[in-house]
Every structure is written in C-alpha cells, then in structure tokens.
Amino acid sequence: MGAKLLPAILELTKEQGDLAAFIDKLNRLEKIGAIPSAAQWLKLREMRNQFAHDYPEEPAIQASLLNKAFALAEDLLQVLDYVTAYAERYR
C-alpha cells in the first residue's frame, strides 16, 4: 500500500507537488483527508520493517512479532477502507 497505493492517491488528486520524502507524502495525505493519520501509517510501516528481519532460531521473537502484527491488522484494514472511500470521490 505504501509503495503503490498511497503515491497513486497523490497522483489521482493532483496533490503530488514536490514531495520527495515519504514523510512529506504521508503528511500531505493526512492533510487532504486521504489517510487518518501519518503517525499511524509510520507505526504500520515499522511493523513491516520488523518482519524484514529473519529470526529462525528465535521463536519467542517470531511469536512477539506475529502478535504485534495481529494487533495492528485492524489498523491496516482501517487505513485501506479510509483510502478506498477517499479515492471513490474521484471515480
């Protein structure tokens, strides 16, 4: 979502401008009402980054990451619903 959908929303709304940094894009998306919170998205992104690390010999770490991800799944779905509803205005 962060790599494709969110930049596509900026393009769809002609809000792209000169936003080189991802945080600037998130802040603009929040400002125009396309996402509920830039901080919330950064938390989801951090969770994704934690999954990029491999801990094959650390089942406790794996379990902890899965539990955190499960807890954040509802937030991710909320953001998707929010972005989808926002994009519907431009159909």
Q: List, for residues 18-71, the tens digit of each pLDDT value.
A: 788 889 999 999 999 999 999 999 999 999 888 888 777 888 888 898 999 999
Per-residue pLDDT band at 84 (split at 50, 70, 90): very high
Using the Cα atoms of residue 63, residue 3, residue 90 and residue 27 in order, give the sign of their dihedral: positive
pTM for this prediction: 0.83
Which residues, 6 or more positions from 8, have their beta carbon under 8 angstroms from its beta carbon? none
**What's the confidence (pLDDT) of residue 16?**
63
Rounded percentage of the chain residues whose pLDDT exceeds 70? 98
Do the beta carbons of residue 44 and residue 74 sit within 8 Å? no
Nearest alpha carbon to residue 34 among 18, 54, 14, 53: 14
pLDDT at 52: 81
